[in-house]
Amino acid sequence: MKEPSIVKPSLPKIDLEKLLSLSEKELENTLAPLKFEELRELILNLPWEKRARVILASPYPAGLVRNLPSIELFLTLKASSLDLAVELLSYATATQIQFLMDFDCWYKDRLRAERVASWVILLFEAGEGKVLEWLSLADWDFLIAIFQKFVKVYKRPDDVDLLEAYDHLPPYTLDDMYFIDFKEDRLEFYFRRLIEIIREEWPETYFALMESLLWEIPLEVEERAYRFRNGRLADEGIPDYYTALEVYTYIHPKKLHSYDYNFHSTFEEKKTPLLYLVPLEEGSELFIHRVLSQITDIKVLEKIQREMAWLATKVTLVDYPVIDSIEDVQMGLHKMWCGLNLGLEYLAGENVELAKEFLEKYYLEDIFRVSRTALRELRKFALSLYNSKAYNATILNYLDQPYAGYLKGASEKRLNEVKLFNPANLGTDQEFIEFSRIKELRMVRQYLEEIGYVAPLLEKGLGPVSDWIKELIKPGRNFDLNFLTWSALILTALAQYLHNGTFHFKALPKSAWKKVFPALLEKKGERNYLKETLKEDLYKSFYKLAESTYYLEEALLRGFLEFVISRFENEFMYSDPEDPPDPKYQTLILVDLTQ
């Protein structure tokens, strides 16, 4: 990531890249003369994964950790190795530890036992003194809720003898009154020590805890703990999951909310932004970056920075309600930038001055919501293709790439999962990426409109899907159903047209392959192309079909047919027409290998 692009604070004159390349001793010597505030500013400007080493090499590791914004500490721990994270955690305050658990141990409105266990283990690794420090401040309902996940308490009845109780109650007890069963053997040590520490330090709290574990209803306790947790996070400027969902709600582009600078300057507290500074990505060339570079008003830049921190938090919370790694946060930031850029292009086109006005006068969340509204409309249209009465929706299973990919990316079940298909990275983790430009939205819409228009024409001209399948599954075919595509349907029908004068989907006899293949091609220079006369015949036949059975939308029809032709020409670009390739090794023309 680059240095943050918005409101850069004053930093000591240090080359960050050179600093990070120093040895441990050189790093300590370089940091030693710096004042505490300079070190803190330096730490906050480092990438999350680089901070731990610098903090621990500084003269004030405890002070730096305790003065980090809680969310920044969380992200620093997530990005650090386990040994460094434990060492950093040993310097954290009880309030910071409670924040870490509040932020990381919940999935929506439910407590996640495995996350609680992870943090408890880390605390013990940092030292029992740190466990005691956290317990002294821990929320009461949260404490009950986590114990209910891992232990079950039994109370010896007054009329039951102690020796008799040992026969049927769990073996662990501290007072011969409350007997405790640990639900997971591997975690018994940690929760046993928690109970022992509470009894040693706060005997009255121990008895209250035991009684609560006996009688409190877990769902009610968890609900109370969730409400108090939301209040604590709100104090840190972090919304709960259901509030964060607002970024995906509909908004009309002409009904954006104006930003009141006077109101915010009067009532907004001076807090460190949630993600401190929102970083740019390496190599980004988005329209919004160009617009931001034109803004010089400090008040506007501070407004944008503050809102970006708030928006990035909401987007990350919705898309990654449980943050497993720092990459989740980086993906949330990336999505925020892409969404803002798409919304800004939608509202302002390529007009930089108009875009500046939108950033200055309106809430960034509304601009982001405009992009989600545009994607909502795209998704609605994509889903309508599956429900059309004009054709059998099964036909969509046989789309060519990239048509299939664009439809899949646009028709995801949830709005926040709608992505742009990236054909160049097919089969990789970058196969689907975020929409970031209005031209991408228009391109996908064009592909989807071609699908919706061509699908009924194929059924009208080449018969129902069931007939295609029957023809394909006959013995001796050169490819199976997995390779059937719309382009294969059309090109097979075109080959049949050359063979016997009828345009229909039927396997070409192998005996006709050597005659038909050269008849399809004409050579221009070193490359082969589909014959111009055949192209015109193909266009005319589909135009005629559309006019007689449907309606003619020349741009959509021609666009798809040109794609089919390009597929054919790319497949057989350098083939020798006089020595055709073996038909069983191609999947664009169905061939009956038995004839």
Close Cβ partners of 15 (under 8 Å, ≥ 6 residues apart): none
Same domain, yes or no, for 296 and 330? yes
For residue 356, give Cα distances in angstroms to 157, 167, 273, 292, 304.
73, 76, 22, 8, 11
Q: Is residue 445 part of a domain?
A: yes
Would the pLDDT of 186 be above 90? yes
For residue 370, give Cα distances in angstroms to 247, 340, 364, 381, 413.
9, 9, 10, 17, 20
Based on the structure, what is the number of domains in the chain?
4
Q: Is residue 10 part of a domain?
A: no
Instruction: Using the 3D structure, point to which of 181, 213, 236 is the last residue of a domain.
Output: 236
Same domain, yes or no, for 259 and 339? yes
pTM (two decimals): 0.86
Helices (H), 502-580: 510-520, 532-549, 554-571
Would the pLDDT of 271 be above 50? no
225 token code pair? 């703990």
90 token code pair? 């040993």
Same domain, yes or no, for 217 and 274? no
CA-to-CA distance for 77 and 66, rounded, in angstroms?
13
Given the DSSP bridges, would you call strands 110-111 and 106-107 parallel, antiparallel or unpaired? antiparallel
Contact 52/76 with Cβ under 8 angstroms?
Answer: yes
**3-class SS at 432?**
strand
pLDDT at 268: 52
Same domain, yes or no, for 339 and 419? no
Read off the pLDDT of residues 229-263 as tens digits, 9 standing for 90 and up: 999 999 888 999 999 999 999 999 999 998 887 66
Instruction: Using the 3D structure, point to which of 403, 430, 451 is the last residue of a domain.
Output: 451
Same domain, yes or no, for 51 and 85? yes
The H-or-E segment that residue 107 falls in is strand 106-107
Geometric angle at alpha carbon 49, from 47 and 50, rounded to 5°: 70
Would the pLDDT of 4 be above 50? no
Give the residue numbers spanning the domain of 405. Answer: 393-451
Same domain, yes or no, for 368 and 411? no
Average pLDDT score over the chain? 90
Residue 578: pLDDT band with limits 50, 70, 90: confident
Helices 364-386 and 403-410: crossing angle, nearest 10°? 120
Instruction: Using the 3D structure, point to which of 451, 485, 517 is the last residue of a domain.
Output: 451
Q: Is residue 386 part of a domain?
A: no
pLDDT at 162: 77
CA-to-CA distance for 225 and 216, rounded, in angstroms?
13
Same domain, yes or no, for 162 and 189? yes
Read off the pLDDT of residues 466-516 as tens digits, 9 standing for 90 and up: 999 999 999 999 998 999 999 999 999 999 999 988 888 999 999 999 999
Q: Is residue 431 part of a domain?
A: yes
Q: Is residue 456 part of a domain?
A: no
Same domain, yes or no, for 221 and 276? no
Contact 187/123 with Cβ under 8 angstroms?
Answer: no
Read off the pLDDT of residues 436-473 as tens digits, 9 standing for 90 and up: 999 999 999 999 999 999 999 999 999 999 999 999 99
Same domain, yes or no, for 63 and 133? yes
**3-class SS at 110?**
strand
Read off the pLDDT of residues 20-59 as tens digits, 9 standing for 90 and up: 888 999 999 999 999 999 999 999 888 899 999 999 999 9
pLDDT at 3: 34
CA-to-CA distance for 13 and 503, rounded, in angstroms?
75
CA-to-CA distance for 570 and 320, rounded, in angstroms?
41
Would the pLDDT of 389 be above 70? yes
Contact 91/66 with Cβ under 8 angstroms?
Answer: yes
